[in-house]
Structure 1
Amino acid sequence: MVEVAVDLTVPAAGAWLHGVVRDAEPATLAAIPGMDGGPVRAVPAAGLVAVVSTAPLDEYGEQPLRRNLEDLAWLERAARAHHAVVEALARRGPVVPARLATVHTDDERVARSLTDRRAELVATLDRLTGRGEWGVKGYLAPGAATVDAETTGHGGVGTAYLRRRRAQLTSREERQQVASAAADAVHGALCELAVAGRRHAPQDRRLSGTSAPMVLNGAYLVDVAALPRFTDLVSSLGHRHPGVRLELTGPWPPYSFVAERPEPALTVREPG
């Protein structure tokens, strides 16, 4: 769902919201390219700073944006540019990422959103300080079914083939069940050490880039001081559950932990 700030009389350019931070040095923002290729800029209000890109409304206004979001090539470019800004901000301190395609028609509306949501945003920034998001993905480890391919038994070759095929399917199902139970155990153990954990839906193989089925797609908010123990735990769990191949990724901007509710924290809803 696209949330776009609209007005009956709109200026030529609006503001694409990337995220909210406590403060931002002008020199830092000047080195971060935004959606239009120029540097991002700050909109301060209520003791917070919204980092935005200038967004020409002939491309990022309500109707053009809805059309562009149907263009997968455009959407990929926009998502990469947005993520690059959020990632650059996250390297410098806590940031509350905005939902992709959150556009205000002017800076005044951006400032108003900061004022209206100040308590929530401050609480989120406090929660993220000194912590990072790490991903742990688990894949079904390769393994051959333990079937004697040479045994035909009674009933001839055709019957033997059916027996072998049934045994292979049973073996695969058993491996998947074991891997699923292992993924549950891994997630539970990681959540005990992390500040918070979220389990996302497994990625399609085309997105994961691997032929092995994904059984765990976890995100974990980890204290910086606890990171060595967390990485050691991931390694230990990998040895403890050989049926699942674990992959640690990160740190990432805290997309998974910007709000307790399912929708992102910074969805913009302008008054009708």
Structure 2
Amino acid sequence: MSAEDTAYVTYVYAVARDGDALRESAAEPAGVAGAPVRIIPGTGDGAPVFVASSVSAQDFDEAALRRHLEDLEWLEAVARAHHAVIERLGAATTVLPLRLATVYLDDDRAREALDADRATFEQLLARLEGHVEWGVKIYVEAPDEAVSPPPPGPASSPGVGPGRAYLGNRRAQRSVRDSAHRAARTAAERIEAAGRAFATDRARHRVQQGELAGSRDENVVNDAYLLRADLSDAFRAEVAHAADDLPGVRVDVTGPWVPYSFATAPEPAAAEGGPS
């Protein structure tokens, strides 16, 4: 198939308000599959717009997307490009991110969906304006090797057999871990208090386990907070010190991000496919 015969579909990244800042930021990055990023206007004055690209139907129609769900390398490349566009847009203006691989047959179908949900999109954009997202994770740290079970062998203390020494060490481990979990609850209460003082909203996410956790430590809280940009520093300062006096507990604060966790948009009815 020649370049002239290639069929395209419309890939949409986000909803935004039109303006110079949006158009300047959209003009800079290449998007998914290296495609140029462009604006699809809604109908009527002041209507929200879609930020989109034209991508090959061979890779992005409904059947192709189903095939690609098992191709982790392909999905990672698409996700990186998708989020790179949104982050650049979000640095310039308020954007409402859409889910990965929101695809329409063409611009007309995309515009129909944009117009159909105009009121909801406008409400969400107004809510997110001037706001950013901060992520907060609390970890219970893995026990030190000092309280780990000893290797099989002679007891280190006279009169104490290997079995009893092992059980003693297990009890010590449980005690340390129980104390750390209590301390983590204290840290969570402090962070929630900071959220009530500074944040507009809070979203609770599933805690990360295994490889997603990124360490041996146990992730016990995985929250996102929506904050006015001018209150971010005060919130971050409170949260960063929430575990200073709590042994066995670590708090990670990340951001500011485009507020993905608070951009719950309606499922585009006219979308032709894409992974959920």
TM-score normalised by structure 2 residue count: 0.83
Q: Percent identity over the alignment?
A: 35
Q: 1:232 aligns with which of 237, 255, 275?
A: 237
Shift of 1:141: 3.2
Q: CA RMSD in A?
A: 2.6
Q: How many residues align?
A: 256
Deviation at 1:57, TM superposition (A): 0.6
Partner of 1:8: none
Q: Distance in 2 between matches of 1:146 and 1:35?
A: 50
1:215-254: CA deviations, max 9, x gaps? 2211010111211211111123132544321111111121
Q: Match for 2:205 among 192, 200, 203?
A: 200
Q: Where in structure 2 are there 5+ consecutive unaligned residues?
A: 1-5
Query: Would you say the 8 A contact 1:21–1:51 is kept in 2?
Result: yes
Deviation of 1:173 after TM superposition, in Å, equals 3.9
Matches within 5 A, 1:161-200: 161-192=165-196, 193-200=198-205
CA shift at 1:207, angstroms?
Answer: 2.3
Worse overlay, 230-239 or 74-83: 230-239
Mapped contact 1:41–1:52 kept (Cα < 8 A): yes
Where in structure 2 are the equivalents of 1:54-69 lying within 5 Å? 54-69=54-69
8 A Cα contact 1:139 1:245, kept in partner:
yes
Determine if contact 2:136/2:253 at 8 Å carries over to the other structure.
yes
Q: Distance in 2 between matches of 1:144 and 1:34?
A: 46
Preserved CA contact (<8 Å) 1:35 1:54: no
Per-residue deviation at 1:59?
A: 0.5
- SS of the residue 2:243 aligns to: helix
Can you give the 5+ residue segments of structure 1 that lack an aligned partner in the other structure?
1-10, 260-264
Give yes or no for the alignment of 1:17 onto 2:12: yes
The answer (yes or no) to whether the contact 1:44–1:50 under 8 Å persists in 2 is yes
Deviation at 1:208, TM superposition (A): 3.4
Counterpart of 2:3?
none
Aligned to 2:40: 43
